[in-house]
């Protein structure tokens, strides 16, 4: 299993600013992901964070808006840039210990972002 | 592409009632199937999983059977408790999706005492 922590747990930010969310896993993991979860909604995958290379973004998400770093096998950051109220959401970090279909995913507690 | 469809909520039950949350999927090949649960104010956690046809996943009194013939993975519990109140997500992971996990919309369950 993997225990994931995120910082900050919540923040209130002004329009036009940027916020960087940190994700720390207590063990080395193969795959790390960033999701967005609107209140009462399902999870939307933003990108897969690749260790040592550029993240792989899903349709509708771009690097300029959501730059991601993954310097090693236990840590990743997601930046929400030039924020607008539409970016208000819960951002979840997730990992898989293997890259097979049967590997479960582990989730952090989430970062609740409110943009004014 | 691969997808997951689950019954809309919210579902409201009295304590000790029987629970069924329907989930069907569309996928090429043989994906693994999961149920995740999100308790209020917490992140998602795995509830149970099944990795091949006819497998039954079970945990905390919950069960789900991988039915390839009906492409379903319905979640059941014989007697729910107030502490089961949460949002339940059906999900799949398969080769065609690059082993990324695809989640259903989630079903919120309220259990009344």
Average pLDDT of B62-87?
97
Substitution target from B6, B7, B23, B44 for chain A, most A beta carbons within 10 A: B44
Q: Give the position of tokens 């991601």.
A: A68
d(CA A18, CA A14): 9
Q: Which residues of B touch A101 (CB under 8 A)?
A: 31-32, 51, 93-95, 99
Confidence of residue B97 (pLDDT cuts 50, 70, 90): low
Share of chain B above pLDDT 70, in %: 97
Scored b (16 or more CB within 10 A) or e, A21-54 reads: bbbebeeebebbbbbbbeeeebbbbbbbbebeee
Measured in angstroms, the CA of B78 and the nearest CA of chain A are apart by 25
pLDDT value at B60 more than 70: yes
Q: Residue B57 corresponds to which tokens in the numbers above?
A: 């996943």
Confidence of residue B15 (pLDDT cuts 50, 70, 90): very high
d(CA B99, CA B45): 18
pLDDT value at B20 more than 70: yes
For residue B40, the number of C-alpha atoms closer than 13 Å in the C-beta half-sphere is 6
Q: Give the position of tokens 């004014």.
A: A116
Residues on A contacting B at a C-beta cutoff of 8 Å: 4, 31, 33, 40-43, 45, 48, 92, 94, 96, 99-110
Measured in angstroms, the CA of A67 and the nearest CA of chain B are apart by 20
Measured in angstroms, the CA of A71 and the nearest CA of chain B are apart by 21
Average pLDDT of B12-25?
97
- Among A100, A104, A109, beta carbon nearest to B34: A104
B43 and A43 within 8 Å at the Cβ level: the answer is no
């Amino acid at each position: 299993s993997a225990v994931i922590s995120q910082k900050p747990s919540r923040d209130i930010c002004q329009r036009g600013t940027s916020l960087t969310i940190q994700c720390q896993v207590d063990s080395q993991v193969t795959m790390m992901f960033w999701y967005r979860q609107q209140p009462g909604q399902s999870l939307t995958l933003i990108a897969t964070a690749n260790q040592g290379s550029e993240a792989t973004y899903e349709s509708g998400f771009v690097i300029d808006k959501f730059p991601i770093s993954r310097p090693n096998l236990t840590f990743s950051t997601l930046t929400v840039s030039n924020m607008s109220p539409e970016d208000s959401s819960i951002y979840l970090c997730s990992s898989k210990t293997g890259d097979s279909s049967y590997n479960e995913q582990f989730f952090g507690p989430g970062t609740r972002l409110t943009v004014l | 592409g691969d997808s997951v469809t689950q019954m809309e909520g919210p579902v409201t039950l009295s304590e000790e009632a029987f629970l069924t949350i329907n989930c069907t999927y569309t996928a090429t090949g043989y994906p693994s199937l999961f149920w995740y649960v999100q308790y209020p104010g917490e992140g998602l956690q795995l509830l149970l999983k099944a990795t091949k046809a006819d497998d039954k996943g079970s945990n905390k009194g919950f069960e789900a059977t991988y039915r390839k013939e009906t492409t379903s993975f319905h979640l059941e519990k014989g007697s729910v408790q107030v502490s089961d109140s949460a949002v339940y997500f059906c999900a799949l992971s398969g080769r065609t999706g690059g082993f990324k996990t695809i989640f259903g919309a989630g079903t919120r369950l309220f259990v009344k005492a």
